[in-house]
Amino acid sequence: MSDLSFLKEIPDPLADVPSAGSPSAPTRLPASPVRSQTQRRRVAALGVSLAWLCTHLAVYGIRQDFDRLPAEYVAAQIVLPAVLGAASLLLAVAPGKLGLGLGAGIVAALAVLGPLSFWVLAAGMRAPYPADGTGSFWIGSLVCLDITLAWAAAPLLLAALSLRRAFPSGAGWRSTLVGAALGLLSGAAINLHCPNADPGHLVAGHGVPIVVAALVGGLVVSRWARA
């Protein structure tokens, strides 16, 4: 029994067990999308969202009372919300100097001031002509509220998908600003369609969905956009 070479053929039961001093293998985290993928998603989502709004406007129709509307009313109720919505959307997804987006204070202020400006202008501007007085105020407001929410719903879903893990910081407020921006764009679209210029109707039927869209952005979209 002087030849003990057969011992080399016996497998070592501890060969696959890491030693106490050796570091364990790092856990692999899901990779965030690269910049080019994120940009393609954003462009595609923006294009589909614009097509969504334009298609619904074509189906529902454009208001026919522009000859009775002062230029300042059109600017305040249609042009300004559209411009604020587009600018807010660009600022919400802007990378900033360090790639972390704009400061939280700026984003939060924009997320609040955008919807607030819509409400202030809707309630503060005098109706360009008296309301016809037909129909229920609440039914009319509820119809426009439902339409505006439906117009904002698809862009919000696309925003959640296209901005997945895109915000490394301030995801809550940045997503709120995204929701507010999409709400403003939908509010401008409903003002382009609905001829009811009563301030109460504009606040209840057109303004409430903007706040709802902002809340959905902050509470739901942020869960997808947080990196």
Averaged pLDDT, groups of 10, the chain, 227 residues long: 56 54 53 67 90 93 93 95 95 75 87 95 89 80 95 94 86 94 96 94 96 95 88
15: exposed, middle or buried (C-beta count within 10 Å: 0-12, 13-18, 19+)?
Answer: exposed
Query: Given this model, what pLDDT does residue 213 score?
Result: 97
* Residue 107: φ, ψ to 5°: -65, -45
Structure pTM? 0.81
CA nearest neighbour of 173 among 115, 114, 110, 113:
110
* Distance separating alpha carbons of residues 113 and 210, to the nearest angstrom: 12
Query: Given this model, what pLDDT does residue 133 score?
Result: 65
Could you tell me if 42 and 163 are in contact, meaning their C-beta atoms sit under 8 angstroms apart?
A: yes
Name residue, tokens 């609040």.
Answer: 112
Query: Given this model, what pLDDT does residue 95 score?
Result: 81
CA nearest neighbour of 148 among 89, 195, 208, 80:
208
Could you tell me if 178 and 92 are in contact, meaning their C-beta atoms sit under 8 angstroms apart?
A: yes
